[in-house]
């Protein structure tokens, strides 16, 4: 449930706010912020309902402080971000990062030294994406900007709405997701449009930073309304659609069940999780369901050869057996209600960030906490990014922190 039994007063508050936002969505869009799906309704719900939840007790806080510290490799500073979510990317021996004021930087992954900086003169809303020598970012005005590895602009094109996620590139096709539910295939050489897919547009949706997953000539994307779609990368033709979760409830708020994180995939199956819904795994070839369980996440998941790991709402990370869906373990004592999607790192570990700017390392086989580190206190919303010696995260305060995993 979105709100627990006994919180009817809070429910009325949230419904009232939702109605006000629905009435005012056109004028909000005129300001360049976007439609109702960009207003973070789920965050409002969480803030209200958390007021009557049990907080982390002193024993748990003491235990967290006693955990060994993750070694810091280096840190770098960009500008603060209020509503956009950025993630660094490691590509061809370099780290690329961006911020909402329009700065794009290339960093040395060994020491964080800035190799170059580009002022794009655009308000950036999503990125960074990279591949095949091309660096990609998106703007609040729906522009996609492409640069080479030296920071020189290659091309600029426009889609139909703001670009909130990391563009993806493969086989000379750039895949971009816009805030109005469309997915575009662009030519990687000049940015011209090759195809477009129009996803469902429910009355109330989440602000989605997930984008799409490109894998072996196919595009996989989780949509508003709990659908998972597989498309041909070259022409955008739909191969199959599957229902991860079905909307339930009476009001639009209760029926909101968007897939707000990237799917994960291997050679046999693709898995996705919906907010206020379910987690499901499907056959990669035809979309037939393998298993499904009740779950809720607006962060995302990852998968290794044994398990699927989900950062669920209210600050828990859960491991499910990837073949049967059986719950293997649950870690709910990380001290935060908001976790990023997890990243697989060396030594059979998981790395993830949280809303207070902390980074945690967990053992994959049992979820036990191995090490922990603090950053600048800004929220870490996006999944940590792999680098050769460890991983790197970006906070909402603009801090870029690289940590070692030994």
Domains located in the chain, CATH noted: 79-198 (2.40.128.630)
- pLDDT score for 144: 98
> Is the separation of the CB atoms in 280 and 271 below 8 Å?
yes
- pLDDT score for 54: 40
- pLDDT score for 64: 83
Lowest mean pLDDT among 7-11, 166-170, 298-302, 373-377: 7-11
Lowest mean pLDDT among 4-18, 100-114, 169-183, 382-396: 4-18
**Statement: residue 67 has pLDDT above 60:** yes
Report which DSSP code applies to 232.
E
Over residues 317-321, the mean pLDDT reads 98
Q: What is the largest CA-CA distance in the chain?
A: 57
Banded pLDDT at 60 (limits 50, 70, 90): confident
Q: Which residue would you say has higher pLDDT here, 57 or 400?
A: 400
- pLDDT score for 56: 58
Q: Which residue would you say has higher pLDDT here, 258 or 325?
A: 325
Over residues 94-116, the mean pLDDT reads 98
Banded pLDDT at 31 (limits 50, 70, 90): very low
Over residues 159-165, the mean pLDDT reads 95
In whole angstroms, give the CA distance from residue 361 to residue 21. Answer: 39
**Statement: residue 329 has pLDDT above 90:** yes
**Statement: residue 352 has pLDDT above 60:** yes
**Statement: residue 330 has pLDDT above 90:** yes
- pLDDT score for 282: 98
Over residues 357-382, the mean pLDDT reads 97
**Statement: residue 10 has pLDDT above 60:** no
Banded pLDDT at 293 (limits 50, 70, 90): very high
- pLDDT score for 217: 95
Structure tokens at 150: 């030296």
- pLDDT score for 88: 97
Long-range contacts of 224-227 (CB under 8 A, 24+ apart): 224/37, 224/181, 224/199, 224/200, 224/258, 224/259, 225/200, 225/257, 225/258, 226/257, 226/258, 226/259, 226/274, 226/277, 226/278, 227/199, 227/200, 227/259
Cα–Cα distance list, 9 to 13, 14, 45, 49, 311 (Å): 6, 9, 12, 10, 28
Lowest mean pLDDT among 61-70, 94-103, 128-137, 318-327: 61-70
Q: What is the pLDDT of residues 175-217, one digit of tens each?
A: 999 999 899 999 999 999 999 999 777 666 667 788 999 999 9
Percent of the residues in the chain that have a pLDDT greater than 70, as a whole number: 84
- pLDDT score for 394: 98
Over residues 337-345, the mean pLDDT reads 95
- pLDDT score for 236: 97
- pLDDT score for 204: 66
Displacement of CA 211 from its chain's centroid (Å)? 8
On average, the pLDDT of the chain sits at 86
- pLDDT score for 32: 33
In whole angstroms, give the CA distance from residue 95 to residue 130. Answer: 10
- pLDDT score for 21: 37
SS3 of residue 314 by DSSP: helix
- pLDDT score for 12: 40
Lowest mean pLDDT among 2-16, 58-72, 114-128: 2-16
């Amino acid at each position: 449930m979105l709100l627990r039994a006994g919180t009817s007063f809070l429910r009325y508050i949230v419904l009232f706010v939702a109605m006000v936002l629905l009435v005012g969505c056109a004028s909000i869009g005129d300001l360049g912020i976007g439609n109702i799906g960009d207003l973070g309704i789920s965050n409002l719900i969480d803030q209200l309902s958390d007021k009557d939840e049990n907080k982390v007790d002193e024993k748990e806080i003491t235990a967290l402080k006693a955990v060994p510290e993750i070694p810091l490799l280096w840190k770098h500073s960009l500008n603060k971000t209020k509503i956009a979510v950025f993630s660094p990317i490691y590509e061809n021996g370099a780290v690329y990062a961006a911020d909402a004021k329009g700065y794009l930087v290339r960093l040395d992954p060994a020491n964080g030294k800035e190799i170059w900086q580009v002022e794009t003169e655009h308000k950036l809303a999503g990125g960074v994406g990279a591949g095949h020598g091309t660096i990609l970012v998106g703007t609040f005005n729906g522009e996609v900007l492409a640069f080479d590895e030296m920071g020189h602009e290659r091309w600029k094109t426009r889609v139909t709405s703001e670009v909130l996620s990391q563009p993806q590139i493969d086989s000379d096709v750039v895949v971009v997701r816009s805030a109005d539910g469309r997915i575009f295939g662009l030519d990687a050489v000049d940015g011209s449009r090759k195809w477009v897919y129009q996803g469902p547009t429910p009355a109330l949706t989440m602000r989605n930073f997930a984008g799409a997953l490109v894998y072996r000539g196919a595009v996989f994307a989780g949509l508003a309304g709990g659908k998972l779609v597989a498309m041909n990368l070259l022409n955008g033709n739909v191969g199959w659609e599957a229902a991860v979760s079905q909307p339930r409830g009476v009001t639009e708020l209760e029926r909101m069940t968007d897939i707000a994180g990237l799917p994960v995939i291997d050679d046999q199956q693709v898995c996705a999780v919906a907010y206020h819904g379910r987690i499901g795994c499907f056959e990669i070839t035809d979309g037939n369901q393998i298993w499904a369980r009740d779950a809720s996440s607006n962060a995302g998941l990852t998968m290794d050869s044994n398990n699927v790991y989900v950062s669920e709402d209210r600050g828990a990370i859960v491991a499910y057996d990837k073949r049967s869906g059986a719950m293997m373990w649950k870690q709910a004592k990380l001290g935060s209600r908001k976790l990023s999607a997890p990243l697989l790192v060396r030594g059979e570990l998981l790395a993830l960030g949280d809303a207070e700017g902390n980074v945690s390392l967990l053992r994959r086989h049992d979820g036990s906490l191995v090490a922990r580190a603090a950053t600048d206190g800004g929220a870490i919303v996006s999944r940590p990014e792999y680098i050769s010696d460890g991983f790197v995260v970006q906070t909402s305060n603009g801090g870029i922190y690289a940590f070692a995993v030994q």
